[in-house]
Homo-oligomer: A and B are copies of this chain.
Amino acid sequence: MKTLFTSDYCEGALPRIMQRLQETNMVQTVGYGEDEYCAQARELIRSACGRPDIDVHFLVGGTQTNATVISSILKPYQGVLCASSGHINVHETGAVEHGGHKVLALPSPDGKITAEQIAEAVDGHFSDANHEHMVMPGMVYISFSTESGTIYSRSELEAISKVCRGNNIPLFVDGARLGYGMAASELIEGDKALTLKDFARLADVFYIGGTKQGALFGEAVVITNDALKADFRYCIKQGGGMLAKGRLLGVQFAALFEDGLYLDAARGAVLKAARIRKALEDKHFEFLVDSPTNQVFPILTEEQMAVLDKDFGFEVWHKLPDGRTGVRFCTSWATPDANVDLLVSAIERL
């Protein structure tokens, strides 16, 4: 059996979550997220965000959440601005387009877009004489952390939020890996690290990823902008995201948020990824992208890949013209230190 670093969804769920699901298994509740566990999880998330006024909804997975949120916001002739590498642009089989909307991709070397790019796209649209013949930018989608493992700094995120509000365009943050991103932000920005309170303040909608961060599955959508709140449950149902046993999501997010488990688990994963990165740096490996989160993207030769492939699972990310390959090693809440030890040793032997 290989030790897998292929993704952050190789295992099931944090032990506490499994225990709570077991404990509550035969309790009878109403369905569709209107049960007491969901109510409790909502309150915990509101509290973590420092905002009693926000709406919190639980959906099952990321593609579904993105498609549902985007469809709920855009008018038919509007599209969503995002990085060309954004998950909605590349890896959701066109779910946004299936819902009727164009993804307006902006070039991005590292998974991030800038406030300037957004401003240019919006200004460019409205100043074009033929703008009625073009898709109007109607919202902005960013990922935190991004698909490349990078994160926005506080100042970058503030700037993006400002340009969005200045143009009356909602900002949506895909937080499938929000915890890993926040944990990395702590390491980089210390006291100025981006927290849930910041996302609640700067984004109009964002979600707190569960699937990749210790839950069996589940994403908690937080709507902070009053104008976007109405009727969102209709959208969830229409998009197939209204779990009959919604309690399962409530139980899990309550477990994650009752005492900070969500962020704690993410911190551990980020530190483990840092050990792997350090081992690679010490051997002077190059990286596809400089990622401070739970994903590490070294560039390997064919021989190096073959050696590591004997004992470890990892993902091929991008083949380079020179014959080398950028790969991804991913840690998670579930990665044991022992697995990291094995990988670090193997790297040292390369």
Residues of A in contact with B (beta carbons under 8 Å apart): 1, 3-4, 6-7, 9-13, 15, 18, 21-22, 24-32, 60-65, 67-68, 71-72, 75-77, 79, 90-95, 97-103, 129-130, 132-136, 211-212, 216-217, 231, 233-235, 237-245, 247-248, 313, 315-316, 334
Contacts and interface: CB of A to CB of B under 8 A. Distances in A.
Contacts of A12: 21, 24-27, 245, 247-248
A86 to B, nearest CB: 13
Contacts of A29: 10
A245 B216 contact: yes
Contacts of A316: 129
A123 B95 CA distance: 22
A320 to B, nearest CB: 15
A60 B31 CA distance: 15
B238 A92 contact: yes
B134 A240 contact: no
The SS class assigned to the A binding surface is loop
A237 B133 contact: yes
A72 B63 contact: no
B13 A25 contact: yes
Contacts of A22: 18, 22
Contacts of A64: 64, 240-241
Contacts of A61: 60, 240, 242-244
Given A25-B11, A239-B240, A76 B90 contact: no
A285 to B, nearest CB: 22
A245 B211 contact: yes
Scoring A12, A30, A72 by chain B CB atoms within 10 A of each residue's CB, the highest score goes to A12
A319 to B, nearest CB: 10
A132 B134 CA distance: 29
Most buried by B among A97, A101, A136, A315: A97
A210 to B, nearest CB: 10
A35 to B, nearest CB: 10
Given A63-B238, A71-B98, 9 more contacts: A11-B27, A76-B99, A77-B235, A92-B133, A93-B135, A99-B100, A100-B100, A132-B237, A239-B240
A334 B7 contact: no
Nearest to A235: B77
15 contacts: A1-B28, A4-B30, A7-B31, A10-B28, A12-B27, A61-B240, A62-B244, A72-B76, A76-B98, A77-B234, A91-B134, A98-B100, A98-B238, A132-B234, A240-B240
Contacts of A94: 77, 79, 101-102, 135, 238
A67 B240 contact: yes
A4 B28 contact: yes
Contact of A217 (B211, B245, B315): B245
Nearest to A26: B11
Contacts of A9: 31, 244-245
Select the residue from A11, A30, A231, A240 with max chain B CB neighbours within 10 A.
A240
A315 B31 CA distance: 12
Contacts of A235: 76-77
